Structure 1
């Protein structure tokens, strides 16, 4: 059928407009090799937004070898000619993008992936990386001078990755500002249990004499909160009195150690914090308690805090408070770490107050009075403590002091309205100190910039 002259002109006009749109579209460019965090400039990656990780990891405790395949589903935020993934130490053997083999190179801890064709902005793509090797724990001054990350135990591994060690065992955009959901399948010799985040959706044995545990975290999670701890565990599961599913795995070597009932305290604290901080943000609560005393720390791995030994009740309530402050509401950049640690430490004071052993006011005074003005404790700027001292005691204790000073300034009614409002406003997202100050001012109706400047950003011991 022939077109009329007017129809031909209309078609040409549409074609010309389409050509202009194509011509105006930015040319594909490489994604950035980091998000620009001042503490870890190359953590995370630019050019895409991670949406989901599908992890298949197989671990042999006899050789300490890890073999994995990670499939990342992501959405391009620009026209991409290539993009980076963070991966430390391990050897990559194959990369595919949307089912087609892609070229890749390595620059330090960055894997640069170049797909066969460019990826247009807004396109959801899948990058599958096959890799393997012997992961090594990281060390240095950041985490209390301790090793952290993928740490070998007598019967498996203890995996606790804050702040930058997730990329020691899977390729990722390794920064808390780029959250995603997860499916994690852990393959290990029969008799060992692989414990991870979220809920256990399947367990099955392979013909090769191994067992696979498949976990699913359906809520957004920062990479450093992912875990794949493997070993011999005594497992107890059920529900808290308020109905939240609970899963606690304890190394039998540590059974009844210190007289702490980890299951009971976890259940009680989960329910109590749900009343104080707002609804529990994840599908399951719990704990992983492993015989790893050389780690010297515990971590708020999402939905199941990881304890390197049986600690104490106060440590358990601290790590569970992190499920709201740090896990659900995560820092936008690492300089805001007091929003995690100061809040979780203050939760310990609230727990003591709840139990009637010490008021938060008295806990504040005890910490304040025990440190003279000459103490180096008062020289840390809590609101920006610097990379190597981001876990300094002041970030925890002076951070908690800041919250008690705030509580006494604005009153209990406004303060206990503020906490659940904060966790609701930024649920499953990221936030900065300035966001918290703004919300505190809005709820209290007071100007609070001076208070926060004194307690978070000014060195020296504040006067009361």
Structure 2
């Protein structure tokens, strides 16, 4: 995210034993002796304790959506493939608003009850630990715009000719049910039907487009694991352009016609930024790239939605483009284990801006470092420990976090530092990492004890003497 706009049937017991021995999956009945318990409500995230749910791990989302901009109505079917991590008698999904019209588990009708943002699903039979199961939720309604802790808008943002879905940190629960915590990443298929003449743009690759009865359906596939807050959907009158980088990577951009002229030149530089990113951070972790550019009044910030960042045109500048593309490595591929670890996303993306300015424009990293150091607002709290959820995207998370990385670079030298950066992106790619993981990785890979550096720059409460 760009910080400059503001400071988420009964089976015999013997048969069950054989099923377990051969690694079978599915629900089991009461005669088996299995007695499941409900999965936890929330994952006890330090900032959003009720976000996400326990007892299962989502493998894939298959979303079939139909959106009517005239009435701002969304009709959806979410097919969620997951693996049980305990014996389950019930489990929860995060879903804000909307009317749930029915639920099944492995093709059998299941009870579904709402309580606030939690949807409780109780299958007819318990689900064995280790079993893969398929839940289908049918729902409809007007998706909500959620006001985040920092007063920014997320979730579903209605626009003049459609809508825009952005989800950091909790907003994705406004438009589809799921396990909406960054620690539970999954692959996605998103099929969206809209009035003919409009476009529906999402993550990954466009795998199909068909028109019938005055409506057009767009099918998108994201093959790499994605945290749900990085899922996006943009519906509107977009100019969609497909091309490839010199290395052959597909580039798909979607631009509102009202801002096409103002964004054309910078969109043309995406291949240049991609090449620079791969040189510094290692191989690009996804199978496509691109951007979605919209008018300023549609969203108040840029966001690193996976493979296709979203930009309001007033923030579609060179540094922000670099920032959001850098997030594809840091935040999207290497994702935070909890929201307390979000500084790992933003520090790398901010430091990428500094590196770009140094490499491309000859501005030494020392210059933005000194400016960030001089700003007392960046010392309001340690980057790895914001005092509250409203500070999750505060200046220290970005600017002081980037200062931490520069101090590491100074301590270990350029060659070792960039080796660590590329190694970090490779080791934790397509998974999740904690602050402790990062600290340990740096010290193991460099062979240095950097306790004093962490104590002062990452965890310290006071601004140190000028370095």
Q: Distance in 2 between matches of 1:212 and 1:118?
A: 36
Q: Distance in 2 between matches of 1:396 and 1:239?
A: 31
TM-score normalised over the length of structure 1: 0.92
2:383 matched to 1:382?
yes
2:329 matched to 1:321?
no
Going from structure 1 to structure 2, the CA distance change for 1:451 and 1:260 (only over 3 Å counts) comes to: farther
2:233 matched to 1:232?
no
CA contact (8 A) 2:238 2:256 kept: yes
Residue in structure 1 matching 2:434, options 432, 435, 442: 432
Residue in structure 2 matching 1:290, options 267, 291, 294: 294
Question: How well do the aligned residues superpose, as a CA RMSD in angstroms?
Answer: 1.9
Going from structure 1 to structure 2, the CA distance change for 1:157 and 1:292 (only over 3 Å counts) comes to: farther
2:216 matched to 1:211?
yes
Bigger relative contact order (CA 8 A; separation at least 6): 2
TM-score normalised over the length of structure 2: 0.91
Pairs within 5 Å for 1:260-275 = 261-275=265-279
Residue in structure 1 matching 2:395, options 376, 393, 396: 393
Q: Distance in 2 between matches of 1:437 and 1:72?
A: 35
CA contact (8 A) 1:153 1:292 kept: no
Q: Give the superposition deviation at 1:25.
A: 7.3
Q: Which residue of 2 aligns with 1:194?
A: 200
SS of residue in 2 equivalent to 1:299: coil
Q: Give the superposition deviation at 1:35.
A: 1.3
Q: Which residue of 1 aligns with 2:408?
A: 406
Comparing 170-179 and 349-358, the one that deviates more: 349-358
Q: Which residue of 1 aligns with 2:130?
A: 122
SS of residue in 1 equivalent to 2:179: coil
Q: Distance in 2 between matches of 1:24 and 1:435?
A: 41
Q: Give the superposition deviation at 1:256.
A: 2.2
2:338 matched to 1:333?
yes
Residue in structure 2 matching 1:156, options 145, 158, 162: 162
Q: Distance in 2 between matches of 1:278 and 1:407?
A: 17
Q: Which residue of 2 aligns with 1:58?
A: 66
CA contact (8 A) 2:182 2:229 kept: yes
Residue in structure 2 matching 1:447, options 446, 449, 456: 449
Q: Which residue of 2 aligns with 1:180?
A: 186
Q: Which residue of 2 aligns with 1:280?
A: 284
CA contact (8 A) 1:55 1:70 kept: yes
CA contact (8 A) 2:188 2:221 kept: yes
Q: Which residue of 1 aligns with 2:49?
A: 41
Cα distance per residue 1:421-457 (max 9 Å; x no partner): 0011001000001111111111211101221121121
Q: How many residues align?
A: 440
Q: Distance in 1 between matches of 2:148 and 2:281?
A: 34
2:367 matched to 1:359?
no
Cα distance per residue 1:231-272 (max 9 Å; x no partner): 111111111122211001111100122x66232222111121
SS of residue in 2 equivalent to 1:256: helix
Q: Which residue of 1 aligns with 2:248?
A: 243
2:309 matched to 1:305?
yes
Q: Distance in 2 between matches of 1:244 and 1:328?
A: 17
Q: Distance in 2 between matches of 1:298 and 1:377?
A: 21
SS of residue in 1 equivalent to 2:140: strand
Comparing 395-404 and 235-244, the one that deviates more: 235-244
Q: Distance in 2 between matches of 1:236 and 1:260?
A: 11
Q: Which residue of 2 aligns with 1:347?
A: 352
Q: Give the superposition deviation at 1:366.
A: 2.3
Cα distance per residue 1:27-69 (max 9 Å; x no partner): 2100111111111111111111000000011111100011100
